[in-house]
Amino acid sequence: MVLAHKQMKWIGVAVTAVSAATGALVTGITFTAPSWAIPPGNVTSETMPDMLIDDAIIDEAIDEVIIDDVGDEVSDEAIIDEAIGKAIIDEVSDRMVDRVDDVTIAQRMSEFGSDTEVVDVPAGNGERLTDIRVQFVDNGVPVDGRTRSFIITREFDLEPGDIYDAALAEMGLQRVVSLDIVRDASLSLEPVGDGEAIMVVTVDERTPFPVAFGLTLPHPTALTGPTEPATVLPGTQRQGGLSNGIQFQLTNPLGYNQTLALGIEGGESVASFDVNFTNPWVGDNNNRIGYAVNMFNRREAQTVFDGGDDEVDLPNDEDPWVHRIGGGVEIFRSYTPHLAAATGLSYQRVSIRDDAFSDDIFSEDELGNDLSFSGEGRDDLLTWSVASSWDRRDDHTYPTRGHRLLLRSDQFIPIGEANVFSNRLMGNFTQFVPFSVFGFDEGPRTLVLNVQGGTVIGDLPPYESFSLGGASSVRGYENGEVGSGRSFVQATAEYRFPIFDFTAFKEDIDVGGALFIDYANDLGSGDTVLGEPAEVRDKPGDGFGFGAGLRLRTPVGPVRLEFGLADDGDSQVIFKIGDRF
């Protein structure tokens, strides 16, 4: 490179400026260079080889000033040096901003990333990468992996020809470790010549046939079905009673990190299955766009048609069961480690019956109130949905600090005899705050604050209303006992604290306690739902509950045993696997 000494002088100026600005942005207090920045005095072609500028950029800058406005040559070295400096500062600043963005993301993933594991990568010494190689192992023994190599390498913002960057390598390795198909991964550098190296990513894959209890998939999703998570808890309308679900998966069948899953659930008031196929990242694009499709059949006795002081059944004295069969397709994208969104189209045929396996269809209850929007006991629903998730929790499974915001909009498109045309809006915000009031063992003490709300604008079939009360709403009330409304608000405050720990079957089990208060209100919207299911059953429309519980941290996830008292004097014992939030 020509003018190398001048380059490094101006590169040092650019690095200093961008580092100072970045320090101000990150700290928000003082103009302090971030810890990863190289001091200006140490900016050399050896410490920052990736910042050297091509001769063409410098020549173009010289050409622009070497001839003045009247056509005479300019020989003033100060003017030429200033032109070179401006070109170098502009180019290096762009590169440094890119580096700042990448490193900031890596730092934030390490500090706040959900379930992000701490990984170690070589510090490097400015090596130029000649290749990125993936090596598969099984308990340390080299094997032929099932995963195609580009599925691993595309997680890195590095490619052959780049100067090795430890921050980018760490960020990429964290993403690799977080893949569902990866049990563990490590990274090393193999020198191949003077200043050159091969980056080797060693991957230990998970079993391709995992089985899991429970059905819920991660947020966000725009699909409808038994395994898709509810954006707001009052959207979970199943009656109480014993039930359990299991999910069988075939992961990575063709080496592309795709998943085919079958979820089955059965119990006193539910019988359902869901088949879904997910491709989390299509091809090698930089947008990280994925897609999913599903088919489902869901049959459940819903709380909308149960509970309250007055019992209202079908004309044959049986409880109404809501049958849904359908499917959908969605696309989703992760914009940052914390922000993701999904949009999709779903169809379902809904019918009202008197049992999980009944062929009889009912359009009205025993009082003559409509159970479906069409008045025929059968509705067709076509829904375009948009969902998003902003997640800054420190851990997905056992969060102790941070927050999460879930938003979703369902636009019902008129089809069939029901011809439903409406929009459902929902939001759910949870804040986890370290809050040391008391505890009986070592461990985090956390205050959890949650607020949820939703409304439906337009047509509303009764089985699509928000059902309030129960384990997912106001604890102390039975499921659906508070109300069934077009709109609602719900709030919870819960204090979690450690009690003791023990070992069982060579597994550490942490036992904690929880104190909670819940409140929900249908905002006076119960009488705006078709058939007025809450009004005819004399549900109050609002309710308050409080109580205490035990929380176990186990290999299968959080296990909760809670006792709730309602403001009307009722009580409820709750046993659940999985966190409420």
Beta strands 196-205 and 128-138: pairing type?
A: parallel
Q: Residue 118 domain-assigned?
A: no
Q: Given pLDDT bands bounded at 50, 70 and 90, which one contains residue 508?
A: confident
Instruction: Please give the C-alpha separations between residue 471 and each of 52, 271, 389, 438, in angstroms, as whole numbers.
Output: 61, 20, 23, 25
Asked if residue 388 and residue 249 are part of one domain, the reply reads: yes
On whether the pTM is more than 0.75, the answer is yes
Asked if residue 396 and residue 271 are part of one domain, the reply reads: yes
Q: What range does the domain containing 19 cover?
A: 4-112
Q: Residue 13 domain-assigned?
A: yes
Q: Indicate the length of the chain as a whole number.
A: 581
* pLDDT at residue 215 tops 50: yes
519-533: burial string, b at 16+ Cβ within 10 Å, e else: bbbbbebbebbbbbb
Per-residue pLDDT, 359:
93
Looking at 156, 186, 205, which one is the last position of a domain? 205
Per-residue pLDDT, averaged over 75-97, amounts to 60
Asked if residue 367 and residue 249 are part of one domain, the reply reads: yes
Q: Residue 354 domain-assigned?
A: yes
Average pLDDT across the chain, whole number: 83
Looking at 144, 171, 205, which one is the last position of a domain? 205
Looking at 154, 173, 205, which one is the last position of a domain? 205
* pLDDT at residue 244 tops 90: no
Per-residue pLDDT, 498:
95
Q: Residue 121 domain-assigned?
A: no
For residue 462, the domain's CATH number is 2.40.160.50
- Residue with the bigger pLDDT between 378 and 67: it is 378
Asked if residue 268 and residue 177 are part of one domain, the reply reads: no
- Residue with the bigger pLDDT between 38 and 264: it is 264
* pLDDT at residue 234 tops 90: no
Q: Residue 119 domain-assigned?
A: no
Q: Given pLDDT bands bounded at 50, 70 and 90, which one contains residue 185?
A: very high
The answer to whether residues 402 and 394 touch, using CB atoms and an 8 Å cutoff, is yes
Q: CA-CA distance, 101 to 107, in Å (whole number)?
A: 10
Per-residue pLDDT, 28:
34
Q: What is the dihedral of CA 130, 135, 140, 142, to 10 degrees?
A: -120
Asked if residue 264 and residue 165 are part of one domain, the reply reads: no
* pLDDT at residue 298 tops 70: yes
Preceding omega of 122 cis (within 30 degrees of 0):
no
For residue 186, count other CB atoms closer than 10 A to its CB.
17
- Residue with the bigger pLDDT between 577 and 357: it is 357
In the chain, the number of structural domains is: 3
Q: CA-CA distance, 224 to 461, in Å (whole number)?
A: 16
The answer to whether residues 238 and 215 touch, using CB atoms and an 8 Å cutoff, is no
